[in-house]
Structure formats: structure tokens, C-alpha cells
Amino acid sequence: MERFIIAHMYPDLLDLYGDRGNLICLKKRLHDYGFNCEIRSIRLHEKIDFNTIDMIFMGGGSDREQGLVYHDLLTKAERFKEEIENGLPVLCVCGAYQLLGKYYQAYDGSIMEGLGIFGFSTQGKKERLIGNILIESETHGKKNSVVGFENHGGRTWLEDHQLKPFGKVIKGFGNNGQDGSEGLWYKNLIGTYLHGPLLPKNPHIADYFIEAMTARKGLTLNKKLNDEIEWFAHEQVIKKLQKSR
């Protein structure tokens, strides 16, 4: 049985808002598809063997934790960027997403440098953008709804106009609450503010990552899972948003 290894970066620091549930979802779905899955924790100052992993996940954390992670990620940034370019599946949520850009400027004016992998920056505001969110994102060649929960003070601006958002905001705030964009989608990397966690309520996005992982091994998915419960949860978020109009 084929085995997949997902690296969970800094699980003791970037652990806000239930985002660990994304890993539980991926492991369960991979098992249901007939594969083994290992979640490998990578903590501060630990090396990561990019040759043995099939996906990277990083969640959200406070400004302090982001600062600690940033300095450690700098030592891995060059290889990390190479792997992103080579199509390594990556999911970065909230604080981890912000770290991929040029910098984060807090509302008190202090600046925390980012990895500079992508041409965007984040401005921190005291007022947080909080609530359920619905976006439209193109997956598998068609537009699909994606739901989640956002809770962030940062306003992210994609300054490189060639960058593609993860989706278009239908209801909620997204990257900055103004331009209608949410997140970032580059090759097999998705950066997003959607917590909840994201993947259990969006099985099509979970399968996007699984398909990317299997394709890199020359494998294909030969069955379809019963996602009735997942889509029920998905629709409940949409109904809540419709009632809030």
C-alpha cells in the first residue's frame, strides 16, 4: 500500500482555530482511497527532508509565534521555494499564509519581515475581520463554492497582479475586505484565511491536494468517496450566511 507523508510545520506554535482538522481530514480521506498516511511534525530547529514528503501544512498563530517561525523558516526558505515551484502541495492558513509575502506591518507600526516568496504584503488593523465566509473558486475546471470561517486582523494585498487568488468573495471579507479576493493559489500551493478547519467542509479542495499528491507519484484515484456528510456541513455554512443578509 502506497504511503504519503504530510509535514505538519510547527504544530506547537501555529495551532489556532482548529486547523489541525485539515490533517485529520486528509489522513482519513487518503485511507478511504486505499493509501497510508503519516503526519510528520516538524518543530523549531528541526530539519525537513523535502525528498521524503508529499505535502506541507502550516496553520495560524499569534504575532509572537509567527516571529519565531519566520527565523526558523529562513533557514529552509530557499529549498521551500524550489519545492513550491516544482509543484509540492502546500496549504498555509492565516499566519502561515502571511509569512509567504514580503512583510507584515502591525497596527502599531512595527514590521515583521516575510519570506518574500510571493509579491504581497499584509497590513495589520486593530479591527478584526470575523465571521463565516463563502467564496467562489475554480477547481477541476469549474467554479465551486468554498466555505470557512475567518478571524484575522491583517489585510493582505496581492501587489503582484499575476498572482491568482484562491477565490472570489461572495460573502465575507477575504484578503482585505475591499477588493473581493481571498487567499492565494499558486501551482499546488493554497494560502488562505479560511479556518474552520477548511478541508472537512470542502471535500473538493481536500481531493485537490490528494490528487496533486497522487499525481506526483504517478498514481490515480480509482474510486469516489461518499461525501454526503461533508457537503451537508458545507451547505449549513451557506444557509447561515443567507440568513444573515
Evaluate whether 14 touches 58 at the Cβ level (below 8 Å). Answer: yes
Q: Are strands 3-9 and 36-42 parallel, antiparallel or unpaired?
A: parallel
CA distance 126 to 28: 38
CA distance 83 to 63: 26
Could you say which of 94, 152, 204, 234 is catalytic? 94
SS (H, E, C) 93-161: ECHHHHHCCCEEECCCCCEEECCCCCCEEEEEEEEEEEEEEEEEEEECCEEEEEEEEEEEEEEEEECCC
- Phi then psi for residue 228, to 5 deg, are -60, -45
Active site residue 94: yes
Active site residue 140: no
Q: State the residue for C-alpha cell 492565494.
A: 184
Evaluate whether 95 touches 133 at the Cβ level (below 8 Å). Answer: no
Could you say which of 8, 25, 37, 195 is catalytic? 195
Residues known to be catalytic: 94, 195
